Amino acid sequence: MSSVLSCQGLAHAYSRSVGVSGVSFELEKQTALGIVGESGSGKSTIAHTICRFLDLESGEVLLDGKNIEEYSLKDYYKRIQYIPQHPQLFFHPKRTIYQSLEEVLLNFGLAEKSSCDSLIRESLESVGLTRAHGDLFPLQLSGGECQRASIARALLVEPEILVCDEITSALDVTVQAEVMELLEKIKQERETTFLFISHDIALVHAFCEYSLVLKDGRVIEQGETSHLVEHPQADYTALLVNQYKSFEYNQ
């Protein structure tokens, strides 16, 4: 396997706190890398920096060996797409889902307006939605439906990498399982590479081949997920694993 995304010494600070500091990892092609940690540990800061929503204050991020700042935003977002925790806030509230997806196709030059309908229908159906869902506004969809629509929008550009930022945390357990099943299907059928961010080490264990554990903005442990779960070296990792195993036992 070869590394498609490389982060070296990534750092970003906020006015009153350190977001992340000295974060380094390699994202191997066609694998899933999990970033796990509690709220406020810096997980989303990593995602937002990689997706160029935040400026990189030090360190570097390379996509196929090239600094990400050397890519135009359009070219970069053809390669990497972000799926948010709260898609209702990510979609324009006064545009239908269809209009939002159509905008992606037109802005990226992927289709003429006359051919958008078939592509949008196909994208919606690939995530378990119908063309009728496209005529609804974001707030008319359930949380699970809106998250599926968000995934459909990301898939329109056929990205190599999907950055999933706590995308199941606002969903109930049943819908969460359905979304994870969809991600697994995408992973297998499209050979997509994932950066999967979650506070839930159980989800990371089930989905990701590799993981890093983040605490207070720093990586405290990383490696194969199965090894981290079975043989945690850091006390914090052991705490996360024990909570997961305790919950699993009680179920």
Q: What is the C-alpha separation between 175 and 165, in angstroms, rounded? A: 16
pTM of the model: 0.93
Residue 160 half-sphere exposure toward CB, CA atoms < 13 A = 13
Residues forming a β-bridge with 197: 35, 165
Q: What is the C-alpha separation between 192 and 177, in angstroms, rounded? A: 19
Amino acid at 178: E
**59 close to 8: Cβ distance less than 8 angstroms:** yes
**193 close to 29: Cβ distance less than 8 angstroms:** yes
The angle at the Cα of 103, spanning 101 to 105, to the nearest 5 degrees, equals 75
pLDDT digit string (tens) for the chain, length 251 residues = 689 999 999 999 887 777 899 999 999 999 999 999 998 899 999 999 999 999 988 999 999 999 999 999 999 999 999 999 999 988 999 999 999 999 999 999 999 999 999 999 999 999 999 999 999 999 999 999 999 999 999 999 999 999 999 999 889 999 999 999 999 999 999 999 999 999 999 999 999 999 999 999 999 999 999 999 999 999 999 999 988 765 453 44
Backbone angles phi, psi at 117, to 5 degrees: -60, -45
Residues forming a β-bridge with 215: 218
Amino acid at 96: T
Chain-centroid distance of CA 72 in Å reads: 21
